[in-house]
């Protein structure tokens, strides 16, 4: 089935999703309520294409043709005939409920709503949408147009046909689909990330290592190792006996707090909240932000070689 795609939301996720869909030849309608948000989305999509052109992965002609496949508007009537809509609005249940009602009103009769949520449960959201049989979570990762992983999470009412259509579309877009059997807070990847964040912040508070050395350890051990083999594959390679011995030594010392650490609370209090503030665990200026943006994209650029409409 050839899906007609809509995207509800013009932020970072929505603009990345639009870059991906138009880059694969899909006519795409993007809904954004504010003129400012619509213009930022248009600029973000164009900049994404400029990055690909600079990397030799796309052409100016492809960019021009792709942008012509994208309609950005505040008129939800533009969703008429859309059969698959990615919802990428704020993590607010009241906002999402209203958006789902709008999609159901203006989209096709069996339109699938795929929420890009990273924190709200599939069951909770499915209850809001009025047609949970055609609802699921399709959680992407940044940069959305380059990072291929998508976590697909059904709610209890999601039909097999809905799951099959979602998987077919995502695979057509070159995504690596991970399917959860049921919804849990944080799904898979954010649970892994929060475990690493919690332990890393605890090590910082205990003055065990600097942020740079913790990041270096993660990049060159965890990151490089698990780029080619799986975490649980490695567990089997090490063997249960040795892993048990390591666990008996390490588990009792791991951070197990269920509250946000003081280093985060103090940062919020003092305005040191990360990149947007210019300081968090690191200091951020224009050069370091630009360098971060390049490094964020670099591992995934080759995925663009499979886009159907990049030249």
DSSP state letters, 34-85: SHHHHHHHHHHHHHHHHHHHHTTSS-HHHHHHHHHTEEEES-GGGGTT-SEE
Average pLDDT over residues 99-110: 91
pLDDT of residue 86: 98
Nearest to 188 by CA among 141, 156, 126: 141
H or E, element range at 137: strand 135-139
What is the predicted pLDDT for the residue at 1?
Answer: 64
Say what percent of the chain tops pLDDT 90. 95
With H, G, I as helix, E, B as strand and everything else as coil, classify residue 29. strand
Asked whether residue 311 carries a pLDDT value surpassing 90, the answer given is no
User: What integer pLDDT is reported at residue 235 of this predicted model?
Assistant: 96
Please give the average per-residue pLDDT across 220-248, as a whole number. Answer: 95
Inform me whether the pLDDT recorded for 192 exceeds 80. yes
For range 218-229, the mean pLDDT: 93
Sheet with 135-139, side-by-side order of all strands: 70-73, 28-31, 5-8, 84-87, 112-115, 135-139, 149-154, 176-179
What's the pTM?
0.91
Residue with tokens 């409409």: 309
pLDDT at residue 221 in the model: 93
Q: What is the pLDDT of residue 200?
A: 98
Does pLDDT of 109 surpass 90? no
What's the mean pLDDT when you consider all of the chain?
Answer: 95
pLDDT computed for residue 44 by the predictor:
97
Contact call for residues 143 and 51 (beta carbons, < 8 A): no
Within 8 A by CB and 6+ apart from 115, the residues are 87, 96, 122, 125, 135, 136, 137, 138, 139
* Residues 201-219: tens digit of each pLDDT: 999 999 999 999 999 999 9
Instruction: Name the 3-class secondary structure at 279.
Output: strand
First CA to last CA across the chain, in angstroms?
25
Label residue 301 left, alpha or beta by phi (over 0 means left) and psi (-120 to 50 means alpha): alpha
pLDDT, position 104? 93
Cis bond upstream, residue 143 (ω within 30):
yes
Average pLDDT over residues 51-55: 94
């Amino acid at each position: 089935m050839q899906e007609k795609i809509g995207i509800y939301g013009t932020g970072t996720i929505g603009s990345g999703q639009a870059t991906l869909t138009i880059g694969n030849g899909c006519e795409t309608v993007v809904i954004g309520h504010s003129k400012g948000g619509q213009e930022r989305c248009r600029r973000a999509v164009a900049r994404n294409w400029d990055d690909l052109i600079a990397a030799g992965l796309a052409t100016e002609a492809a960019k021009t043709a792709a942008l012509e496949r994208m309609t950005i508007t505040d008129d939800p009537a533009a969703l008429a005939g859309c059969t698959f809509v990615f919802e990428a609005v704020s993590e607010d249940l009241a906002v999402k409920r209203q958006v789902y009602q709008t999609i159901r009103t203006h989209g096709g009769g069996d339109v699938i709503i795929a929420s890009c949520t990273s924190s709200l449960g599939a069951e909770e959201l499915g209850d809001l949408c009025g047609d949970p049989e055609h609802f699921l979570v399709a959680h992407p990762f940044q940069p959305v147009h380059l990072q291929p992983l998508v976590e697909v999470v059904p709610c209890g009412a999601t039909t097999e046909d809905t799951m099959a259509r979602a998987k077919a579309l995502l695979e057509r877009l070159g995504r690596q689909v991970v399917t959860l059997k049921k919804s849990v807070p944080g799904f898979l990847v954010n649970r892994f990330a929060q475990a690493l964040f919690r332990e890393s912040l605890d090590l910082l508070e205990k003055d065990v290592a600097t942020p740079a050395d913790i990041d270096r350890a993660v990049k060159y051990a965890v990151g490089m190792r698990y780029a080619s083999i799986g975490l649980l594959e490695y567990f089997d390679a090490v063997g249960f006996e040795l892993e048990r011995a390591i666990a008996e030594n390490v588990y009792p010392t791991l951070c197990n707090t269920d509250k946000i650490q003081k280093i985060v609370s103090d940062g919020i209090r003092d305005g040191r909240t990360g990149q947007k503030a210019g300081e968090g665990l690191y200091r951020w200026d224009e050069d370091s932000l630009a360098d971060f943006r390049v490094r964020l994209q670099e591992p995934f650029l080759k995925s663009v070689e499979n886009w159907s409409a990049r030249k």
